[in-house]
Amino acid sequence: MSIQWFPGHMTSARRKAAEAMEFIDVVIEVLDARLPEASCNPMIKELREHRQRPCLKILNKADLADPVATQAWLNFYNKQPGVKAVALSCKNAADAAKVPKLCQPLAPHRDNTHKPLRLMIMGIPNVGKSTLMNMLLKRRVAHAGDEPAITKSLQSHNINDHMTLTDSPGLLWPKIENPEDGLKLATIHAIGRNATIDEEVAEYLSAALLARYPGLLAARYGIVEEGMDGMGVVEDIAKKRGCLLKGRGGEPDLEKAAMILLTEYRSGKLGRISLETPETRDT
């Protein structure tokens, strides 16, 4: 499934982000810790490298990701020039409070009221940018929710008298060439349901869970791995959860079962799961 999902406002958002980059010292790029590279927008790297801006990569929702995989990603990113990576949960006030202190060493020349440190939060939709913004400012200035592309314009605020913060809309790139990356992004709801088919996304997720975390499937749904494939998992969930189409002779409601799986994965009810590691990205 090749996903193309590039709403008109994203062209404008990219242009505004490029213009703002001139006046930014550090880019805070928020990624989803469960799939850091798939949720890393190459346009953001292009924009910040053009202006030679350092980057703090935040692997957000680390509490939902496999800690072993997360550590591998931190090692991977921290080897990159001009990059500092950290894993945290933006919903945790103590975690969010660490972010300004992590940014300061990336631009040591900007540290007073005359030269305030200018930060900009960037990332794809639904990775937690607005949540982080609200936590850092200790008030609700950005709408946060489980829907892609909520923030539509640049917003700047003062964190304190020597630090400013600019939020930006979630940026996707025009075409996601790698079909698997598109499916991964759909599992975390970074891509809206209007561009995907829930059953296909759930089938992909099920196959990934069978390959990497069969024990979690067994614990949550009582699914036995042997002889099972991705769609078989969705069908089994439908039967176990009573998702049947009315008047269809007990035929499973695959769409409803798919949403059960996706919702429980997104909320962490299945356990701590990562869908990629640096090693799997190389294969």
* Same domain membership, residue 248 and residue 112: no
* Same domain membership, residue 74 and residue 148: yes
Share of the chain above pLDDT 70, in %: 90
pLDDT, tens digit (0-9, with 9 covering 90-100), for 90-102: 999 999 999 999 9
User: Residue 72 falls within a domain, yes or no?
Assistant: yes
* Same domain membership, residue 163 and residue 26: yes
* Same domain membership, residue 77 and residue 130: yes
Sequence-distant (≥ 6) Cβ neighbours of residue 189 within 8 angstroms? 126, 146, 147, 148, 262, 266
> How sure is the predictor about 150, in pLDDT bands with cuts at 50, 70 and 90?
very low
Question: What is the C-alpha R_g of the chain?
Answer: 20
User: Residue 229 falls within a domain, yes or no?
Assistant: yes
* Same domain membership, residue 278 and residue 210: yes
Mean pLDDT of all residues belonging to the chain: 88
> How sure is the predictor about 9, in pLDDT bands with cuts at 50, 70 and 90?
low
* Same domain membership, residue 93 and residue 35: yes
User: Residue 175 falls within a domain, yes or no?
Assistant: no
User: Residue 77 falls within a domain, yes or no?
Assistant: yes
User: Which range of residues forms the domain containing residue 223?
Assistant: 197-282
Query: Which of 56 and 113 is assigned the larger pLDDT?
Result: 56
Task: Give mean pLDDT, residues 51-79.
Answer: 97
Using the 8-state DSSP alphabet, how is residue 30 labeled? E
pLDDT, tens digit (0-9, with 9 covering 90-100), for 195-206: 788 999 999 999
pLDDT, tens digit (0-9, with 9 covering 90-100), for 123-136: 988 899 989 999 99
* Same domain membership, residue 156 and residue 18: yes
Q: Looking at the 3D structure of the chain, how many domains does it have?
A: 2
Share of the chain above pLDDT 90, in %: 61
Sequence-distant (≥ 6) Cβ neighbours of residue 194 within 8 angstroms? 5
* Same domain membership, residue 127 and residue 52: yes
* Same domain membership, residue 207 and residue 155: no
User: Residue 17 falls within a domain, yes or no?
Assistant: yes
DSSP codes, 35-79 = STTTT--HHHHHHHHHTT--EEEEEE-GGGS-HHHHHHHHHHHTT
User: Residue 266 falls within a domain, yes or no?
Assistant: yes
Q: How far is CA 135 from the centre of its chain?
A: 17
Query: Which of 10 and 81 is assigned the larger pLDDT?
Result: 81
* Same domain membership, residue 211 and residue 152: no
User: Residue 58 falls within a domain, yes or no?
Assistant: yes
User: Residue 176 falls within a domain, yes or no?
Assistant: no
CATH (domain of 66): 3.40.50.300
Among 49-58, 157-166, 169-178, name the one with the lowest average pLDDT. 169-178
Task: Give mean pLDDT, residues 1-27.
Answer: 72
Task: Give mean pLDDT, residues 209-233.
Answer: 93
pLDDT, tens digit (0-9, with 9 covering 90-100), for 28-43: 999 999 999 999 988 8
CATH (domain of 222): 1.10.1580.10
Q: What is the pLDDT of residue 122?
A: 92
Task: Give mean pLDDT, residues 60-76.
Answer: 98
* Same domain membership, residue 149 and residue 103: yes
Task: Give mean pLDDT, residues 65-76.
Answer: 98
